[in-house]
């Protein structure tokens, strides 16, 4: 690190940690390995979204195989970086590293006990992929190798690819019956798009594209999560801001949500009416594309088990094999019921541990009247909805939530004078803090 940079930055991390905290303007001090890792992360995320969509659209197994190999290669790279900078996920101040480590370690123990060990390992690798990417993203953000600008460009490219392929997929007949398109992926990008206080016209365009891409699919779970998350975002921000300017801005955002949602709903009104008939909402056999029946089978498989099953579950991917007909075996489409059936009360504890960290983060941000609180509320409510209504934790696209958590926690870990956006939106500015003493010679 240069002498000029040392004079501007406190040494918040020990030299032996493998990471150095730098200001957003001091990227030149970051090593080439870290810069390369940031580029691999950003390009890899976008490329995988594109490859996955090619496989889904053309139904070509070649694209599926390429996507799996690419994801395996990225996972190996992510894990190598983590081992090089510290194997404990919570190292360097990453608070969400603890629940993610518990989740990764627990499922690692369960994976070899799968009825189909190779499939169980692949299932585990899909989860470890987004967890490892989250941990690496946080560390790269902390040292300045990964910047907010790079994250924004990555999210925009992902929204563009997902939105374009969703519109293209609408022309296929299976779109109306059994495909989520990119509804949940786009939902996961919204907290990152909402994180900025001052949005450009380009931000508004991508934000609108994500909203349209969610609503046009008429996927009830995604739309419901969008509505509830938006309400949470507006309410939390109203409490945090508490001034006329921010209130007016939130009203405009709320009206934009309604306008875009209303216009999109008008285009798809016939499909909306078909998807919201009484039997498809309240009939246990038909509601949620049969989710009521799946949830009941998962519950019965857990509650009727032994005490060991009640505590530790029936085993990795056990619900998938619970149906007697191999041709009708499907996932339960719910993290809540899948984890209860497969991992018992211990599995529910893993989910609650993650949600407890979300609640703690939101409480801290609201107490400090931090402008990021609204986006965190949006992300948390979305996760709650997806945990109930779909299999979110086992989906590699959950990396978008992980990237969001990495940005927020890394931002809070910066010295106040290096934070990238207004923190105390409604409170008077804090008095200037005296600079810390310079680190000893030879340290970083």
Q: Is the pLDDT of residue 48 over 70?
A: yes
Query: What integer is the mean pLDDT of 217-221?
Result: 77
> Is residue 67 domain-resident?
yes
Poorest-confidence range of 76-85, 229-238, 353-362, 400-409?
229-238
Instruction: Encode pLDDT of 119-154 as tens digits.
Output: 999 999 999 999 999 999 999 999 989 999 999 999
The number of CA neighbours under 13 Å toward the Cβ of 54 is: 14
Q: Which two tokens stand for residue 48?
A: 């995988």
Q: Is the pLDDT of residue 32 over 80?
A: yes
- Which of 240 and 243 is assigned the larger pLDDT? 240
> Is residue 90 domain-resident?
yes
> Is residue 137 domain-resident?
yes
Residue range of the domain that includes 90: 29-146+395-423
Please report, for residues 271, 296, 390, 433, the alpha-carbon distance to residue 326 in angstroms, rounded to integers and kept in the order given.
31, 19, 21, 65
Q: Tell how far CA 93 is from the center of its chain.
A: 19
pLDDT confidence tier of residue 267, bands split at 50, 70 and 90: low
Q: Is the pLDDT of residue 290 over 70?
A: no
Q: pTM of the entire structure? A: 0.83
Q: DSSP 3-state helix, strand, coil percentages of the chain (rounded to 5)? A: 70, 0, 25
Q: Quote the CA–CA distance of 118 and 95 in Å, as a whole number.
A: 32
Q: Is the pLDDT of residue 71 over 80?
A: yes
Res 273: pLDDT:
53
> Is residue 260 domain-resident?
no
Q: Which residues contact 219 (CB under 8 A, 6 or more apart)?
A: 180, 181, 183, 184
Identify any residues that bridge with 184 across adjacent strands, giving them in sequence order. Answer: none
Res 320: pLDDT:
87
> Is residue 263 domain-resident?
no
> Is residue 78 domain-resident?
yes
Instruction: Encode pLDDT of 375-398 as tens digits.
Output: 999 999 999 999 998 889 989 999
> Is residue 39 domain-resident?
yes
Res 262: pLDDT:
67
> Is residue 206 domain-resident?
no
Q: Quote the CA–CA distance of 140 and 77 in Å, as a whole number.
A: 14
Q: Tell how far CA 296 is from the center of its chain.
A: 28
17 and 129 in contact (C-beta within 8 Å)? no
Q: Quote the CA–CA distance of 11 and 88 in Å, as a whole number.
A: 21
For the chain, give the mean pLDDT. Answer: 80
Q: How many domains does the chain have?
A: 1
């Amino acid at each position: 690190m240069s002498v000029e940079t040392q004079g501007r930055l406190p040494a918040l991390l020990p030299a032996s940690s493998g990471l150095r905290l730098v200001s957003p303007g001091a990227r030149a001090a970051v090593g080439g390995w870290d810069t390369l890792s940031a580029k691999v992360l950003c390009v890899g995320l976008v490329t995988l979204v594109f490859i996955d969509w090619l496989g889904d659209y053309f139904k070509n197994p070649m694209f599926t195989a390429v996507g799996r190999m690419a994801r395996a290669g990225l996972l190996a790279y992510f894990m190598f970086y983590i081992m090089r900078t510290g194997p404990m996920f919570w190292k360097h101040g990453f608070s969400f590293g603890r629940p993610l480590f518990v989740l990764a370690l627990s499922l690692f123990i369960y994976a070899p006990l799968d009825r189909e060990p190779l499939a169980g390992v692949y299932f585990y690798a899909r989860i470890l992929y987004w967890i490892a990417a989250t941990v690496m993203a946080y560390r790269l953000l902390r040292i300045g190798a990964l910047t907010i600008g790079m994250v924004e460009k990555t999210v925009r490219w992902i929204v563009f690819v997902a939105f374009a392929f969703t519109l293209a997929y609408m022309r296929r007949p299976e779109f109306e019956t059994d495909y989520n398109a990119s509804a949940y992926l786009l939902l996961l990008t919204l907290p990152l798009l909402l994180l900025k206080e001052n949005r450009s016209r380009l931000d508004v365009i991508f934000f609108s594209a994500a909203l349209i891409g969610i609503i046009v699919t008429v996927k009830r779970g995604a739309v419901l999560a969008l509505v509830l998350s938006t309400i949470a975002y507006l309410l939390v921000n109203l409490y945090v801001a508490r001034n006329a300017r921010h209130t007016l801005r939130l009203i405009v955002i709320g009206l934009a949500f309604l306008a875009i949602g209303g216009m999109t709903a008008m285009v798809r009104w016939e499909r909306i009416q078909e998807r919201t008939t009484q039997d498809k909402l309240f009939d246990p056999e038909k509601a949620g594309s049969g989710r009521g029946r799946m949830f009941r089978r998962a519950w019965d498989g857990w509650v009727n088990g032994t005490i060991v099953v009640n505590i530790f579950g029936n085993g990795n991917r056990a619900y998938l094999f619970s149906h007697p007909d191999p041709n009708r075996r499907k996932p339960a489409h719910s993290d809540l019921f899948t984890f209860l059936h497969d991992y018992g009360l211990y599995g529910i504890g893993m989910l609650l541990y993650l949600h407890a960290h979300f609640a703690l983060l939101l409480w801290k941000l609201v107490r400090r009247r931090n402008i990021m609180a609204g986006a965190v509320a949006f992300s948390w409510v979305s996760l709650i909805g997806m945990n109930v209504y779909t299999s979110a934790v086992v989906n590699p696209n959950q990396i978008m939530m992980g990237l969001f958590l990495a940005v927020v926690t890394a931002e809070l870990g910066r010295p106040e004078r290096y934070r990238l956006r207004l923190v105390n939106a409604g409170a008077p500015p804090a008095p200037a803090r005296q600079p810390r003493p310079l680190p000893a010679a030879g340290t970083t």
